[in-house]
Structure 1
């Protein structure tokens, strides 16, 4: 931790540098805007210019936050890079364009502009500070000294000495005041207030709750669909088959026996479907032996060869393990049923308090998020747990999914 005096001493040279660079940087920014507008209709070159300028603005904002945070020991939250949810060829350009909609990027740019203004004033204060130092040597030059500033003209050397002391004091105080103003400005713009943090947390919790409800609705719809389309018709068929066997029992025992055998087989299939349905809730092995064992069992049932690497030295919360399990399960289901993949790579490890997974298949791609679909349900489930879910699935493949879930060992 740096004391305030050291913070001010570090801030003053930075203000001087900003004062020197403010005009060239402003001219470059205006030139880039003008070039983008001029080239906007030239084969969309202007779109590329604006997209790249958005990336540069994001990087400059990150530099501003890092510099101010280091200089004044400010607790500035991490500024995450906004990424596009698209999975087509426009994902890259859409990601760059999203930086224009990032409020923190604009706040960082505004911070840099205001600091540059303070820096320009600091240059004048530094000029008077340096001039005052020169005037201190006036008695060594003779009885009189020529001061060209403000058309003062020639004055006695002792007067020039006093003016030099005044210029040093005023220039120094102004530079210190500007550095203090820089600290206050950075704290006001870059450090969120407690009220803002509470509002952000309330919005995040509301969003998580809504996503959890949406994930529950999707899961309930899946269960209802599986029961209605799978188990229920099969059990009805078993009942009808047993009814036919009962009627044939006295007149055609052989046919009745065949019908009973058919009902028996249908019952075993129904039991298997029920087990698969129950497994979709929460596999027992996940609770008993952890995520590694549950994923091994899941991969053992996969119709597609899966190469998995798991580096999980600990057990984690039930919520974190279940969320990651269902994310991997949905990815394997999509790779098998829709992507027609022949190989899947799964990598899972823990880093910085997060479970992190990367799933890649060599299928045909084209996966997208649709309301109420499997991917939508998993995304809602992951984000409701405070994690992130990103996927890329261009036509022709491959499909790459990256999942992070906060955990506590």
Structure 2
């Protein structure tokens, strides 16, 4: 799924040391004027090659896919450059991750990335900066020429060639040189100031865009929460109907038979009561497991590490647990990761024919909780509507996280979830 975008702040420029900022802007533009043309040329060449080879066994598709990644890289670089140059509070340019597993999910994420407005605005700002940089370099050489031209009377008394190729009396050279210096310097400073204004307009997200993104994110999380609740309700109904309910009905029938035989055949009645007692204990165990699937009390009491240790000890297949956490996350984040791992281990035991599982959990930089579950089973797992993997996807989405499934035929199957700690 789409990695969720961190809401941007107001993006106010702190304007520390304006002369230094202006000098750095001119330096940035000059650098982009030198190297930017080559970057744009390479991107254009990749695009032309991709379009040209599009119908040659689909080879051009590889170039176009690479172009999307390259454009994202250019956009990411431009966002970081503008943020560092002007000391703006700009959120990172997000990469649109897969919302669904498999090749189809990757294609859709690539499509969303290719039409990402923020990425294209950053690329446009990069192209404009490269054009400005080329002009700045020319103006700089014009400034140097004008400065030298102003001192022409010190070297000759004859007429000299002016800036437009015409002969100029040597006495006018100082005035023309000074005017040239002022004009080129003003042009360089003007382009630097214009670059700042354009960058703020293109790279810094507008307030309206922030609100739209927040609404989109909130809507997606709400939809995921609703679907997760529906899947969970269906699972509980299925477990009650297919497991506990038939067992309790059997207990009732067994006790009824024992009641009929208690006078005529006490030994048979005793055996039936023993059978009913065994079934009752099994039903209690199933109810306890069902309640644990709804809410893991150890998760609240002792944290995710202890809850996963208890989960691994109850697993029907060996589980290698590697949990490294230096703190607690929010209850929703820990619950999303816990139930994702629990469902993954259940699927591995029921369907994958795996002989072992490996669970890795880390608290990463940026206050995100990351977990990976891998088994050595047969693979071929897919997200089915209403299934366990669908429940994982919805629960993680509701917590504001991302979900990735990789399960080729023949295995292994790996599932990764990333959830923000403050979800």
Same fold (TM > 0.5):
yes
Greater displacement, 99-108 / 345-354: 99-108
Q: Is the 8 A contact 2:99 2:403 kept in 1?
A: no
Q: Render the CA deviation track for 1:1-29: whole Å, top value 9, x for unaligned.
A: 75222121112132233334455444433
The DSSP-based 3-state class of the residue aligned with 1:150 is coil
Match of 2:32 in 1: 18
The DSSP-based 3-state class of the residue aligned with 1:280 is helix
2:64 matches 1:50: yes
Q: Render the CA deviation track for 1:126-153: whole Å, top value 9, x for unaligned.
A: 2331221121211112334412432431
Match of 1:187 in 2: 200
> Which of 293, 310, 333 in structure 1 is aligned with 2:346?
333
Q: Structure 1: any 5+ residue segments left out of the alignment? A: none
> Which of 206, 219, 228 in structure 1 is aligned with 2:219?
206
2:81 matches 1:60: no
Q: Is the 8 A contact 1:133 1:168 kept in 2?
A: yes
> Which of 308, 314, 320 in structure 2 is aligned with 1:295?
308
Matches within 5 A, 1:32-181: 32-85=46-99, 87-88=101-102, 99-157=113-171, 159-181=172-194
The DSSP-based 3-state class of the residue aligned with 1:349 is strand
2:297 matches 1:269: no
CA shift in 2, pair 1:18/1:283, >3 Å: closer
CA shift in 2, pair 1:315/1:156, >3 Å: closer
> Which of 377, 392, 400 in structure 2 is aligned with 1:386?
400
Tell me the TM-score normalized by structure 1: 0.92
Matches within 5 A, 1:230-249: 230-249=243-262
> 1-side partners of 2:417 and 2:48: how far apart?
40
The CA deviation at 1:212 is: 1.3
The CA deviation at 1:101 is: 3.2
Q: Render the CA deviation track for 1:161-205: whole Å, top value 9, x for unaligned.
A: 111111111111111111111111111111112332222222212
Greater displacement, 8-17 / 253-262: 253-262
CA shift in 2, pair 1:94/1:48, >3 Å: farther
> 2-side partners of 1:104 and 1:175: how far apart?
28
Aligned residues: 408
Matches within 5 A, 1:305-320: 305-320=318-333
> 2-side partners of 1:122 and 1:145: how far apart?
29
> 1-side partners of 2:127 and 2:281: how far apart?
72
**Alignment RMSD:** 2.4
> 2-side partners of 1:129 and 1:275: how far apart?
82
Q: Structure 2: any 5+ residue segments left out of the alignment? A: 1-13
